[in-house]
Amino acid sequence: MKPIQIAEGIYHVGVNDWNIEDFHGYSTPLGTTYNAFLIVDEKNVLIDTVKAEFGDRLIANISQVVDPHSIDMVISNHTEMDHTGSLARIMHLIGEDKPLYCSKMGAKNIKQHFSNKFNYQPVKNGQTLEIGRRSLTFLETRMLHWPDSMFTYVNQDRILFSSDAFGQHYAGFEIYDDVVGGKIMWHARKYFANILMLYSPLILKLLAKVKEMNLEIEMICPDHGILWRKNPASIIEAYQRWSNQVAEDKAVVVYDTMWHSTEKMADAIAEGIADQQVEVRPMYLRKWHRSDIMTDVIDAEAVVVGSPTLNNGLVPTVSDFLTYMKGLKPVGKLGAAFGSYGWSGESVKLINKALEEMKFEVIQSPMRVQFVPGKDDLESAYEFGCDIGRRIKES
């Protein structure tokens, strides 16, 4: 990707990572981007850097706009290494005495990652920095999604550099919402569901704070994916909805199977749910990645989980999914368990226990079948699904 002028004197100098497939447990089939931005003013400012292995490309992009040595200061909105992997190299190139603006926690974290020697300039929430024709205002966004996270707002251009927030793991030459089109919202939802959902209460507070500040926003520039220039309000509204975890009449049936018995139960349960006019999709864990399932869980009223009993426990894919979902803290869901077994049959109890730990409202009579479900068992599974569907409609 070449540098792209996104506003007069403001450039996107980040890079596409086409080949990344897995972002610590999150599937990224379309790759991602590491966005970095250069403001050319009386002071030249670099906002964020890129993953270490893309440092050459970042420097090449900057060099097409200005001599990198002319960068007067760097702003680090977030310490995670997809945005600071090239920071030490940039600081070394431009001069380690040049100021490095970041939050107080950012200074602490960057020191622990890289170097004590940089000229740290910790900033406070609302602090403003003059850089010539423009001034920048910093907004602390602690725990969104790290303790160091912050935003940088360009007052004159009304551009918000939002670090990870409002991002998507989507690599492409189309860098704007109006160019890529509506499909980007699914990627933004996946990103929210897998990275930010657990911080929903904090996001609601942040959105309220931004509203109070009457911050006019013409463009939102996250550190991953496309920039929101046509309709930045659309992603803010979506964050409001997702943070409230507003549920639809929808269920997700997540399962693994050994000899198709739990699969047959999953299909019958889903059919029962669907017959109550509730949207439902059986999601087989060997087909669907956990991060894609979470993208559906976010607005589902019910999560129904199935596993055969294996070695007195759960099939590993189901354990993996439950652990992953627990960490992301979905709230207000109805939960239910099902599964086949041979002789001991612990799986449904273990699933119910896990769902209770997540504070789901759990149906206390899980659906369990020994070995292979017969006609009556499948009718019971269908009725189990109908019951779940009715509860969803009533809620």
Give the catalytic positions in this structure: 24, 78, 80, 82, 145, 164, 191, 224
The first and second tokens of residue 11, run together, are 């450039």
> CA 276 to CA 1: how far, in whole Å?
49
Q: Could you tell me if 273 and 251 are in contact, meaning their C-beta atoms sit under 8 angstroms apart?
A: yes
SS3 252: strand
Q: Which of the stretches 80-88, 98-106, 247-255, 353-361 binds ligand FEO when contact is defined by CB under 6 A?
A: 80-88
Nearer Cβ to ligand FEO, position 32 or 307? 32
Q: For residue 169, how far is the Cα from the chain centroid? A: 8
Of residues 348, 247, 360, the one with CA closest to residue 307: 348
Q: Is 296 in the site for ligand FEO (CB under 6 A)?
A: no
CB contact at 8 A, 272 and 384: yes
Nearest to 41 by CA among 3, 72, 76, 77: 72
Q: Which stretch binds ligand FEO (CB under 6 A): 75-83, 234-242, 354-362, 369-377?
A: 75-83
Select the residue interacting with ligand FEO from 48, 82, 256, 387 (CB under 6 A).
82
Residue nearest to ligand FEO (CB): 80
In contact, 165 and 200? CB cutoff 8 Å? no
**Structure-block tokens of residue 58:** 């970042």
Closest approach, Cβ 114 to ligand FEO, in A, equals: 16
Residue among 140, 164, 256, 377 that touches ligand FEO (CB under 6 A): 164
Which residue, 141 or 307, has its beta carbon nearer to ligand FEO? 141
Name the amino acid, one letter, at 299.
D
224 binds ligand FEO (CB under 6 A): yes
Q: Are 150 and 163 in contact (CB under 8 A)?
A: yes
Q: Which is nearer to ligand FEO, 138 or 166 (by Cβ)?
A: 166
Residue 238 vs residues 169, 175, 189, 392: alpha-carbon distances, Å: 17, 19, 8, 23
Please tell me whether residue 17 binds ligand FEO under the rule CB under 6 A: no
H/E run at residue 30: none
Nearest 5°: phi and psi at 270? -60, -40
- Cβ 78 to ligand FEO, closest distance in Å? 6
**Smallest Cα–Cα separation from 224: which of 273, 197, 190?**
190
346 lies in the binding site for ligand FEO (CB under 6 A): no
Angle between the N-to-C axes of helices 375-394 and 261-274, in degrees from 0 to 180, rounded to the nearest 10:
40
Per-position x/- string for 248-267, each x denoting binding to ligand FEO as judged by CB under 6 A, each - no binding: --------------------
- Give min distance, CB of 146 to ligand FEO, in A: 6
Using the minimum distance from each CB to ligand FEO, give the nearer residue, 23 or 321: 23
Q: Is 80 in the site for ligand FEO (CB under 6 A)?
A: yes
CB of 81 to ligand FEO, least distance (A): 8
Q: How many residues at the interface with ligand FEO, by CB under 6 A? A: 8
* Interface with ligand FEO (CB under 6 A), residue from 17, 177, 223, 387: 223
Residues 125-154 that bind ligand FEO (CB under 6 A): 145
Instruction: Name the residue nearer to ligand FEO (CB basis): 78 or 250.
Output: 78
C-alpha–C-alpha distance, residues 175 and 183, integer Å: 13
Contacting positions for ligand FEO (CB under 6 A): 78, 80, 82-83, 145, 164, 223-224
